[in-house]
Structure 1
């Protein structure tokens, strides 16, 4: 599986990123994959490579590139609850500095970059994200409705911007929530927002999960939930990026 580290031109300077794609010299639909708050690291590279194996060009940007190349923090191999608070104390200033204006500027650069890659097929793209990356994916899809055909967000604060982004979506969605992040009542409110906006797709709470359940290198990891994530993500991509 070919992979490479890239430099993406942005208004704030070059942003490093990781890309994985199938071998063979053909063009493939693109997926822009936003990492969680701990950023671009081995587990995200592994997930990108796994997704690429299904026939996609997968681009994972370093979302904190304004603070230096990845990794901006020295992370342990396993992010346990004992180290999580200290790590987030250092990450929060970077997360807060990544304003909606920065997000949209970078998103436009990432999408433009994909059009230049010889491995990427013409046509719509998908965006997916984890934790804060899911919110970035939502903002990207809302800002580029003619370009983004699919949006998948996992254990993400998708309500952070209120209902406005959903009213701009044309993408088909899968929103997966941790049991510890969203109550059934909050899910019902979100579902009403999606219905009012005419958004098609699914929104569900994954049972017995806590925030971060897809990330194999954290204490929140839940193997059945990660598989459920693939079971929902792959058909969504097939339906939107490979129409029959």
Structure 2
């Protein structure tokens, strides 16, 4: 397995992990500088590698925005493979839609990005992979870590000329990042106007820190895109999400996609011979994301 560029220190190898554990742990635990034309809205975008001071250290990140003007800010929380070309590509496309986008390295406490250049060769049955992922995911999922990070990241966005500070900020996350979106929206309710989780892991658990319990603290419009295999494994989760946000009077949409966990991210590997990335369902998710931001980032 040749996945890591800057491997962090690892703990004991896990021998019994599966994709089911990957989802559960995700919360419990090819741009360079310069301008480039982009698709979708067709805006030209510029990308800069930046560093952000946080209470826990210095985070390396990528900031991507249209070459002119001020636009709503968006924070993208990566999946468990972190800041890498696939995540920058998502940021680039979103910037082309008219947003100023920050994609941080969520694992900066452990290692600089890229920890993984790609997820394409990942074997979720390989204990060596889990020996890497567990401390990485644990670093950002530690109590209060995501909230401290989110506060620093939003402050960075608000200090940029390319960000329209009169508009709300959006946040989106993938897999592990789904729960971080909920924690961000709850930590900064006055600033976050919309949050989207795609194939988010561990959103509904029996723990006192389960993300769904944060619904009363949130003021943002929320969107939850659920993978079909995640729904099969935990069919009650979507209903708990709907009920929790409805009870808190927070506008939230929960939809199940005919796709596997990880379907939105282009560099995901195949599982059992079936590609995880699903272009058609990823496009459906993208359209839902753009509609959410248009409605929520006023």
TM-score for the superposition, normalised by structure 2: 0.76
The whole-number CA distance in structure 1 between the counterparts of 2:67 and 2:118 is 32
1:91 matched residue in structure 2: 133
Q: After TM superposition, give the deviation of residue 80 of structure 1 in Å.
A: 4.2
2:204 matched residue in structure 1: 159
2:227 matched residue in structure 1: 178
1:191 matched residue in structure 2: 242
The whole-number CA distance in structure 2 between the counterparts of 1:188 and 1:218 is 27
Q: After TM superposition, give the deviation of residue 198 of structure 1 in Å.
A: 1.3
Matched pairs, number: 239
2:291 matched residue in structure 1: 235
Give secondary structure in 2 for the equivalent of 1:17.
strand
2:260 matched residue in structure 1: 210
Q: After TM superposition, give the deviation of residue 192 of structure 1 in Å.
A: 1.5
The whole-number CA distance in structure 2 between the counterparts of 1:60 and 1:10 is 15
- Greater shift after overlay, 89-98 or 117-126? 89-98
Matched, 1:48 2:91: yes
- Name the CA shift for 1:103/1:82 in 2 (closer, same or farther; >3 Å): closer
The whole-number CA distance in structure 2 between the counterparts of 1:115 and 1:78 is 34
2:193 matched residue in structure 1: 149
Query: Are the aligned partners of 2:195 and 2:220 in contact in 1 as well (CA < 8 Å)?
Result: yes
Matched, 1:223 2:282: no
Match of 1:70 among 99, 103, 113: 113
2:17 matched residue in structure 1: none
The whole-number CA distance in structure 1 between the counterparts of 2:85 and 2:216 is 35
Q: After TM superposition, give the deviation of residue 122 of structure 1 in Å.
A: 1.1
The whole-number CA distance in structure 2 between the counterparts of 1:62 and 1:181 is 26
- Name the CA shift for 1:44/1:227 in 2 (closer, same or farther; >3 Å): same
Q: After TM superposition, give the deviation of residue 179 of structure 1 in Å.
A: 0.8
Give secondary structure in 2 for the equivalent of 1:6.
strand
Structure 2 portions without partners, runs of 5+: 1-44, 270-275
Give secondary structure in 1 for the equivalent of 2:54.
coil
TM-score for the superposition, normalised by structure 1: 0.92
Match of 2:75 among 3, 20, 32: 32
Q: After TM superposition, give the deviation of residue 144 of structure 1 in Å.
A: 0.8
Query: Are the aligned partners of 2:71 and 2:98 in contact in 1 as well (CA < 8 Å)?
Result: yes
The whole-number CA distance in structure 2 between the counterparts of 1:84 and 1:48 is 29
- Greater shift after overlay, 75-84 or 15-24? 75-84
- Greater shift after overlay, 82-91 or 13-22? 82-91
Q: After TM superposition, give the deviation of residue 190 of structure 1 in Å.
A: 2.2
Match of 2:121 among 63, 69, 79: 79
**CA-based RMSD:** 1.7
Matched, 1:23 2:74: no
Q: After TM superposition, give the deviation of residue 83 of structure 1 in Å.
A: 7.2
Query: Are the aligned partners of 2:242 and 2:252 in contact in 1 as well (CA < 8 Å)?
Result: no
2:6 matched residue in structure 1: none
Structure 1 portions without partners, runs of 5+: none
The whole-number CA distance in structure 1 between the counterparts of 2:73 and 2:112 is 23
